[in-house]
Chain A
């Protein structure tokens, strides 16, 4: 037991492990760039889920990560044992008349070790717990549930995007509300570099866009014209003249068979077409197909009634990344302790390296 302890207190071990980690990560740096298929998904999941899933299935590209973990484990043990040993020494010798500078140097060195261990512990928590979700689409005015939370939901109140011809995107602001049982817990305008943070949950805006929400049709009946908006499979509101429209179906690649029956030639949106049914009250009047790629060429006429496709109505949406990482604060705290102690060490005089020349 004593010899194992002594082995792990070795500074030589720390140097050798550091250099082995360097070589391992150097190989990993090259593999990360050359194996995007195998390693490209690594940041989209909690690390250990990825490692024991995709990582194990792609050992040719991920072996260095397993080796890194083994080396890091040894390095962490080395640091912990060294720190315990040194703290015991500091406590034993605190009454001795060691120079203040030497004492401060010892304490700061151990604080650096402690910061590293705390950071590593935080990273272990980050790699095991929490969740990561990407591509959460939320439409303006609507809500989506927060993943892995039964009670929380997010509402996009307003999306504000500003472009400039010369400078590209100037602003991408999503006014979000975090809700619990329809009560607002937090309001925040989420921007790039400014996420919504709430009890470990973090919401980021990554992209934005517009999706067709409904279709518009120009309906004219004996000189009276109006625009009617409808959603797929839904019935429109009643027009002034008492008509309602229903979008019956959408076909991605419109074609007709030998009997003139409509069907889709493929699943690709090569020639999308909409079937629209017209009602007056509850009475079905007529139905027809509208080709979306050539809307001006298709129309529907029936007893003085004319229906023309006037275009799509779009609704803005934001794409959100929603994460929960319980280890982040611990990692950052460890790193802060590490750096503050390191800065302290910089200002202690005599922290030089005395010359050692081998005899010739």
Chain B
């Protein structure tokens, strides 16, 4: 059942992206509406997948690559929907939908076996630590989308449009940084309660530290006039690469006690 809804969601995100590209080229209202409905349906299917998985495992979707990729995709999709309904903004879809699509595709080909959650992970501190960190990753992805659009359209778009992209980038980084800092605090509390140390010198924690300092740097560029615009946009894209390194790179290529 989970697999059926997962493939439905992947198909609808694929179709949603194609319709979005067609909408961008033309300006037919009907097509715009259809494209929006397709993406809403895709999110609905993805939500069903998550709900089914939670019912199957009995815990928040955070154990293993399959579950975290689902949650990562869902977080970006929810942010997209918020942008759509709150700001009537769909331009970032050009980059966020492919990320969701690829993450779901990777999930579809990942091991979806249900694993026992070790006793030490059965705590609310861990659940909220993971949830906040994935929301942060999703926000950093949105920031990268804003940055990429700024760089792609710098020469053709109006100042107002470019201002929107800069605002998306900066606000997403600020919110993402808040979620990420919160996630690190929650992880620190959990670490202290679980094994007596709020900090561990291991790959995943170190990668989180580098990500945190990177975005500290990016946020400070707001005060440097020469660094805004192009530089901040480029930094947001590099930030997304660092997010991928922290989330997937460390778990796949390095040894870490954090696992996935």
Contact B210 A172 (CB under 8 A): no
List A contacts of B125 (CB < 8 A): 193
A206–B195 CB distance below 8 A = yes
Q: Report if A338-B174 is in contact (Cβ < 8 Å); known contacts: A193-B125, A332-B198.
A: no
Q: Does B213 contact A (CB under 8 A)?
A: yes
State the majority secondary structure of interface residues on B: helix
Whether the Cβ atoms of B223 and A354 lie closer than 8 Å is no
- Contacts A33-B254, A43-B200, A355-B229; A11 near B195 (Cβ below 8 A): no
Which of A39, A193, A342, A357 sits near B194, CB closer than 8 Å? A193
Q: Does B33 contact A (CB under 8 A)?
A: no
B210 x A29 contact (CB < 8 A): yes
B residues near A345, Cβ cutoff 8 Å: 174
Contact of A18 among B170, B171, B185, B217 (CB under 8 A): B217
Total number of A residues with any Cβ neighbor in B under 8 Å: 61
A342 touches B177 (CB 8 A): yes
A202 within 8 A of B: yes
Contact B196 A321 (CB under 8 A): yes
Nearest B residue to A164 via CB reads B116
Say yes or no: B185 contacts A339, CB within 8 Å.
Answer: yes
Chain A 325-354, CB-CB to B under 8 Å as 1, else 0, gives 100100110011011001101100001111
CB distance from B109 to the nearest CB of A (A): 25
Q: How far is the CA of A1 from the CA of B216 in the complex (A)?
A: 27
Q: A168's contact among B116, B214, B254, by CB below 8 Å, is which? A: B116
Q: Which residue of A lies closest to B160 (CB)?
A: A355
Q: Once the chains bind, are B220 and A11 in contact (CB under 8 Å)?
A: yes
Residues of A within 8 A of B155 (CB): 360
Instruction: Out of A202, A321, A336, A353, name the residue touching B169 (CB < 8 Å).
Output: A353
Verify B195–A352 contact, CB threshold 8 A. Answer: no
> What CA separation (Å) do A357 and B123 show in the bound complex?
48
Contact B196 A204 (CB under 8 A): yes
Contact code string A130-160 (vs B, CB < 8 Å = 1, else 0): 0010000000000000000000000000000
Which A residues, 156 to 178, have Cβ-Cβ distances below 8 Å to chain B? 166-172
B interface residues (Cβ-Cβ under 8 A, vs A): 116, 118-120, 122-123, 125, 154-155, 159, 162-163, 166-167, 169-171, 174-175, 177-178, 181-182, 184-185, 188-190, 192-203, 206-207, 209-210, 213-214, 216-217, 220-225, 227-230, 232, 242, 245, 250, 254-256
